[in-house]
Structure 1
Amino acid sequence: MAARKTRNSVSGRVDGQVVQAGTITGPVTMHSSGIALPVWARVALIGVAAAVVALTVVVLTRSEPEPELRAVVAVGPGRCAGGWVVPPPAGPVTVVDRPEGSVQADQGQVAVTLQGSTSAAVVLQSMRVEVVSRRPAMSGVWLQTPCEGDVKPRSFGVDLNKPTAAAIGLPGRSSGEKVPAPSFPFQVNESEVEQFLITPNVSTDDVEWRLRVTWTSGDRRGETVVDDNGRPFRTTATTGVSASYCADLASSTWHPSTPSARCATLRSPAEASLVGTWRGAGTLTIAQDGTATWTTGSGTATIRLLSILDQKATADVVASTTPEIAAGERLSLVYFSDGITAYTQLGAELSWCRPDIACR
């Protein structure tokens, strides 16, 4: 005869602890022992339960995504002093937006468009450069780019000679009118964007780098890394190039200068007739190797010429004890047989002339 199956059951209210000893084989009925939890313990349990419910409601009812910052990047050759550096080519190079195997030259340009992901305001607080790697300047050929008329608004310079540096707003011109240097903060959302034009400066190195943009939105803070589609940006000085090619837009090629399509030629300080002493805003003395000393009544600056083209040059301030210019500042020079005019990135202008010629 088969054993009759039994079922355990629990009925009634159970307070306190329950202890099982051994194996239960028959029906079980549990009755309250009459020992209730203290009032304070019940209140505490009710509070914990209410808090859990409240937290659950907050998570479940949150529908809007958290704001974040999005970036779209375009790497370009910049204007005048920028361009591309490529390994020595076998012939003319086709003019394209970004030649194969090219590295952006010093004074190129990176356009960064920033946009919020929601309607909530995202306040851009600061932007700085982070250097990832550094090596000697790339050798090869410098593909020059034509000059443009205006320096656009929202332009910033970053100094790649330093491991980290803030982006410095640069004054510009728009439709011939001077535009003050931009400064943080800025504000974006999903319908309002900001575009920044970044000009990287590097003296003698080939540098990989990224931008880091810090932002706030309400009580949230974040930092967005901006790079070249997942890779660091790369910018090289032009101190390692052996020749410069100019762009012939009629044939859509870069090639060496010819009588019919002449481009600016790289020169040494001696070839450009810059060696010697110049007077005006203090005394400027330029040596054969391109180093220069500027002495004023308030101090002395050491300047290094980086690239010298026909009537144009770039230079960096290596050290300075004079308040007119600071160490690390980039100078753009325009020179003639009788005079030199230098423009700092922040818009200051300095002029020197040959000792026997009065400066205009």
Structure 2
Amino acid sequence: ERPERQPPVARPATPPFTWTTDDHVWRYGCGHEYLVARPPGTVPPPPAEADAEPWAQALGAVHAGETGVRITLQGTGERAVVLEALRIRVVARRGPAEGRVHRMSSGCGGALTPRMFDVDLDAERPVARSVPGNDTGEPIAPVSFPYRVSAADPEVFLVTGRAARCDCDWVAELRWSGGGRSGTVRIDDGGRPFRTSGAPGRPVHDYDYGARRWVAAEPEEAG
């Protein structure tokens, strides 16, 4: 007997938009901390923000306390695509990573960069919470879904994942619809989840540019 024909397997709808991510976005362009599990004497000076990714990869550094992720989305056609919801999913939890905290700057000035979404990764079910921002002294009201993107109207999301008690691997899931289709895309770091670790009680170091070395510093007090 001929085997029964199996129904075709439904493939996920290809989203009508593209996206890129950058998970080395620093507060004020200079304020960020990394956990590095190496002796301070073997750690090179802090990089510029634009060079942070290769610096961190070479050292096996982990984002300490928070990870700022810039997600840039753009439609592939003239018709607008509706972005309906952004979900955060923690795919692995561990105890905080080992190492020393290395601060990229001991002090930053300037206006706040808007942070559109804030996520508490320590929560049992993390939620991307829309928060107000500030751009050159002008307040920016919190915004919420849905959004629309097209080829002529891109969108940028800034998501800050924070952790104090875990070393968390996490991804974003974006639900969309348009042109009679819908789906959900996973947004991550080139196929790998984003990673953020708390750093409770870890030694903190600042870079002394005069002495050209990392020196012990007191951790910043919680505000």
TM-aligned CA deviation for residue 228 of structure 1: 0.6
C-alpha separation between the residues in 2 aligned to 1:108 and 1:249?
A: 25
Kindly indicate whether residue 190 of structure 2 is the aligned counterpart of residue 229 of structure 1: yes
Question: Are the aligned partners of 1:116 and 1:190 in contact in 2 as well (CA < 8 Å)?
Answer: yes
CA contact (8 A) 1:117 1:190 kept: yes
- Residue matched to 1:178: 139
Distance in 1 between residues matched to 2:165 and 2:182, nearest whole Å: 36
Q: In structure 2, do the counterparts of structure 1 residues 67 and 90 end up closer, same or farther at CA, with 3 Å as the change threshold? A: closer
Is the CA contact 1:152–1:173 (under 8 Å) kept in the aligned structure 2? yes
Structure 2 CA distance for partners of 1:132 and 1:122, relative to 1, 3 Å: same
Q: How many pairs align?
A: 198
Change (3 A) 1:231 1:249: farther
* Residue 127 (structure 1) aligned to one of 86, 90, 112: 86
* Residue 95 to residue 154, structure 1, CA distance change in 2 (3 Å): closer
Distance 1:123 1:148 in 2: 37
2:194 aligned with 1:246, yes or no? no
Q: Deviations over 1:160-208 (max 9, x none)?
A: 1134433111111111111111211111112221111111111211000
Moved more, 145-154 or 118-127: 145-154
Residue 70 (structure 1) aligned to one of 18, 31, 38: 18
Please report how far the alpha carbon of residue 77 of structure 1 lies from its aligned counterpart in structure 2 after TM superposition: 5.5
Alignment correspondent of 2:155? 194
- Where do 1:92-107 residues align within 5 Å? 92-96=43-47, 97-98=52-53, 99=56, 100=58, 101-107=60-66
- 1:108 counterpart SS class: strand
Larger Rg computed on CA atoms: 1
Q: Distance in 1 between matches of 2:79 and 2:63?
A: 36
Partner residue, 1:214:
175
Q: CA RMSD in A?
A: 2.5
Residues 1:84 and 2:34 are matched in the alignment: yes
CA distance in 1, matches of 2:153, 2:208: 38
C-alpha distance in structure 2 between counterparts of 1:232 and 1:244, whole Å:
26
Offset of 1:220 from its aligned partner? 1.4
- 1:163/1:191 CA distance change after superposition, 3 Å: farther
The whole-number CA distance in structure 1 between the counterparts of 2:102 and 2:135 is 26
Q: TM-score, normalised by structure 1?
A: 0.50
User: Residues 245 and 173 of structure 1: is their aligned pair in 2 closer, same or farther, counting only changes over 3 Å?
Assistant: same
In structure 2, the CA distance between the partners of 1:148 and 1:229, relative to structure 1 (3 Å rule), is farther
* Structure 1 residues 240 and 181, CA gap change in structure 2 (3 angstroms): same
User: Structure 2 matches for 1:226-305, cutoff 5 A?
Assistant: 226-239=187-200, 241=202, 243-248=203-208, 255-257=214-216, 265-266=218-219
1-structure distance, mates of 2:214, 2:154: 39
Q: Where do 5+ consecutive residues of structure 1 fail to align?
A: 1-65, 258-263, 267-308, 314-332, 334-360
Q: What is the aligned partner in structure 1 of residue 104 from structure 2?
A: 145
Query: One-letter code of the match for 2:20?
Result: V
Q: Is the 8 A contact 1:70 1:114 kept in 2?
A: yes
Quick one: percent identity of the two aligned structures? 32
1:71 CA displacement = 1.5
Change (3 A) 1:150 1:249: farther
Change (3 A) 1:233 1:250: farther
Unaligned runs of 5+ in 2: 1-13
Change (3 A) 1:232 1:163: farther
Distance in 1, matches of 2:137 and 2:98, equals 37
The separation in 2 between residues aligned to 1:225 and 1:132, in whole angstroms, is 12
